[in-house]
Each structure stands twice: as C-alpha cells, then as structure tokens.
C-alpha cells in the first residue's frame, strides 16, 4: 500500500513480530501501517522454490516447542499441512562417517555438558557457556559446533543464564509448504508498505516523525521490530538518541546460521529424512539433512565463525564446501550427484545482518531492557525481546502481540 501522511501506530518491520503486532491491532480502532524495507513479507522467514522439486526455507524452518508455538494454530487455520516427523538430529544417522558407537559417546558427552551448564546457571552467574565444557574432553570442538547451529555463535560468546532462560519442549514440527510461506500468508491481510526502509525515528515532538526511503510520515506511537544488529549499528537512528536501547541491542547480537540446498541426482538411493555428520573433531563443520520431506536434495547447515568465513569467501562458497564435505563422508562418486540450488548469507543481508540473537555473557538481562517501552510512545518487539522463546519465529510473533497490547493499554 502507499505511504499515508500520518497513522496512529507505525510498525517497523514485516517479520513475524511486526505482523503479530499488526494482527493484534486489527479491530482496535487505531490506524496502523507496517513499514518493510524489503520487497516481501516475513523478514528472516523466507521460503523459495529452489527447483521444481525442492521447496526450501532459506530462514527458519522448524516450529520449535510445537505444543506451545502460536504458529501451529495459525497454520491449521490457514490450511498449511504440519509435518510431525521426528527431526533427524539425534536419530537416523547415514553412512559410516560417524559410527554409532562414536555417536553414542558424543551424545553422552553433550548431555553431560548440558547438565553442567544447567548446574552453572542455577548458581546465577552469567558466565560464558564454554566454562561448562569438561577440560580435555575429546568432543569439546563438536559440542561447540552444535552451539553454532543452535545459537549462531561459539560457546565462549553465549550467556549461561540466557541459555537457561530458553524454553524448549523438544517438540519440533515443520510446515510442508514452508515456514516462510506460512508467515507470508499470515501477513497477507496486514496493511504493509513494502520497499520502505526506515532511517530515522524522531520522537522529539508530540507526533513521532519517521523518515523512510518513500518519504516521511508521522505517528502517535511506533513499534520497532527490527533485528538487534540494525539498532546496535544505528542503521535506524533515534532522535533523541536511545543509548540504553543501542547498548542492549549490542549485548544481544545476531549470530550467523546459514543454509544451503543441493539437488541430489538418484535420490531414491538415499534415505528420506537422514542425518549426515562426521566425527571430525572440529567446530568448523556442517551438518546435513538428507531428503527433507522426501525431496531430491540435501540441506546443509553452518553456524558461527565458520559460517561467517564461508560468507566472506563469496557467493557459492557454502555450496562448494558442502559438496566437498559430503564427498569426504560418502566418497568422491557423490560429487556428480550434487548440484547447488540455493544458499543463504544472512550476515550479508543488509536488513538482517545475522540470523538470530544470542546474549553475550553478562547480558542476559538485556532482553528485558530492549523490550521496555519508552515514554509510552515507542515500543519494541522481535525475537530478541522474547524472555523465553528468543531465536524463534513464534517468539517474535508473540512479542509483537505483546507490544500491541502495551500500545492499547496506553490508549485506555
């Protein structure tokens, strides 16, 4: 839609949080618009048709804590099929790159690490999660690799208390047509101005002035839902400045997690929903999902510093490394069966600059600081503001609904 000259509520960002806020304000009697820098809905949720046979979630793909996930009833209401198959993370190992006896030993070491991490959190000290590693344990580098997949960062950059605050029911479902497609469908009824990049929020006067790439508008209230890196880098400026928000956002940086999908020729010779990972004893490694939904492809997943290195190596580097690593696991003959289809580079995305937030050691409390309203006129949402479901799309959506309730409470 075109940009109005003024609204009651302007929502910055059409990711899950912004769309959640827009839905919650529907029927309130307040005029609202969502301002989105991209030319599409969904933010870090994005589904593409990578090939005629392969649907690929470039961003989030799993409905974590599905029994508590607010997108589950939304999916059902919108007619999106849910897949409840067990994720391949612990089960369904394929090939001999990671023999079952080694895999069992690794899982015991990782479970023991999580127990120590939980015990450390009970002491209330917000220390680096790496301190819970057992000195000299042969699996430490691979445990760190798992952190890069889950948190987007290595354990040295992960807050123990923030890890403990996260709620995980360990029930993980998927959307057959794509999580990004679901969130785009959820946002379709919302009033959104696309290709509208916000650069300044001037809250110095009675009406808040918002400068965008499409012009200027005013609003009585603003809900900011952009990723923390944009706030920390002051890609969106506040006037007067909000140093507490900038500092809190800097304490909650977006880690890096990237995905790639590779076409798999002769896919019927490979198992559906298989897991491929090697006992490589290093953090710089990928993990692979063979034939998700039975599709003729292999998805690769990379996180943390290694994902940053692959991004810096240029477009196609993630796919090239994936093919090399898979060939190392399964033999060189597999090379001719694999062809790059699509890869993400979230750190290079100007409107994300990362994948999802993690609290640096000592900064677990920054989520509440970032979420707090300012002067009853500026409100903040996004996965980084969720106290228990950060890093997730449903945590983001729920935070947008929470911010909308705060707006309506001021109205009353």
Helix-helix angle 16-25:393-411, to 10 degrees: 40
Query: Region 231-248: what's the mean pLDDT?
Result: 98
Tell me the average pLDDT of the chain. Answer: 96
What number is the average pLDDT over the span 99-120? 94
- At 90, the pLDDT band (50, 70, 90 cuts) reads low
Position with higher pLDDT, 99 vs 363: 363
Q: How confident is the model at residue 2 (pLDDT cuts 50, 70, 90)?
A: confident
pLDDT bin (cut points 50, 70, 90) of residue 291 is very high
* pLDDT higher than threshold 90 for residue 89: no
Across 94-105, average pLDDT:
87
- DSSP classification of residue 84: -
What average pLDDT score do residues 49-69 get?
97
**Whole-angstrom distance, CA of residue 113 vs CA of residue 140:** 9
- Mean local confidence (pLDDT), 128-157: 97
What is the per-residue pLDDT across 123-140, written as a single tens digit (0 to 9) for each?
A: 998 999 999 999 999 999
Q: Does the pLDDT at position 63 exceed 70?
A: yes
Give the mean model confidence (pLDDT) for residues 168-179.
96
Average pLDDT over residues 140-163: 97
3-state secondary structure of 403: helix
- Residues 66 and 172: their CA atoms lie apart, in Å, by 6
Mean pLDDT of 42-67: 98
């Amino acid at each position: 839609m075109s940009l109005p000259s003024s609204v009651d509520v302007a929502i910055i960002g059409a990711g899950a949080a912004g769309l959640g806020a827009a839905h919650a304000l529907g029927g309130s009697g307040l005029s609202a618009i969502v301002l989105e820098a991209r030319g599409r809905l969904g933010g870090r949720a994005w589904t593409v048709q990578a090939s005629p046979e392969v649907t690929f979630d470039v961003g989030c793909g799993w409905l974590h804590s599905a029994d508590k996930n607010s997108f589950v009833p939304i999916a059902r209401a919108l007619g999106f099929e849910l897949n409840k198959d067990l994720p391949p993370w612990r089960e369904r190992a394929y090939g001999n790159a990671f023999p079952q006896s080694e895999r069992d030993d690794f899982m015991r070491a990782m479970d023991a690490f999580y127990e120590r991490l939980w015990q450390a959190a009970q002491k209330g000290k917000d220390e680096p999660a790496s301190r819970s590693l057992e000195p000299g344990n042969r699996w430490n580098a691979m445990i760190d690799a798992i952190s890069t997949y889950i948190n987007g960062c290595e354990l040295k950059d992960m807050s123990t208390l923030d890890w403990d605050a996260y709620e995980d029911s360990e029930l993980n479902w998927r959307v057959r047509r794509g999580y990004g497609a679901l969130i785009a469908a959820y946002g379709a009824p919302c009033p959104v101005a696309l290709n509208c990049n916000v650069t300044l929020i001037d809250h110095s006067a009675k009406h808040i002035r918002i400068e965008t790439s499409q012009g200027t508008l005013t609003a009585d209230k603003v809900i900011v839902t952009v990723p923390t890196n944009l706030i920390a880098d002051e890609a969106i400026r506040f006037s007067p400045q909000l140093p507490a928000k900038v500092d809190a956002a800097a304490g909650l940086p977006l880690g890096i997690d990237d995905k790639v999908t590779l076409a798999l020729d002769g896919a019927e010779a490979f198992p559906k929903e298989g897991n491929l990972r090697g006992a490589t004893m290093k953090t710089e490694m990928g993990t692979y999902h063979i034939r998700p939904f039975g599709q003729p492809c292999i998805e690769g997943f990379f996180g943390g510093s290694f994902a940053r290195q692959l991004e810096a190596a240029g477009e196609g580097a993630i796919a090239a490394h994936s093919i090399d690593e898979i060939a190392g696991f399964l033999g060189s003959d597999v090379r001719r069966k694999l062809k790059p289809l699509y890869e993400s580079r979230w750190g290079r995305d100007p409107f994300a600059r990362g994948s999802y937030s993690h609290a640096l050691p000592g900064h677990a409390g920054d989520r509440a600081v970032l979420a707090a309203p300012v002067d009853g006129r500026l409100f903040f949402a996004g996965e980084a503001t969720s106290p228990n479901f950060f890093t997730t799309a449903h945590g983001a959506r729920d935070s947008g609904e929470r911010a909308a309730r705060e707006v309506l409470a001021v109205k009353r």
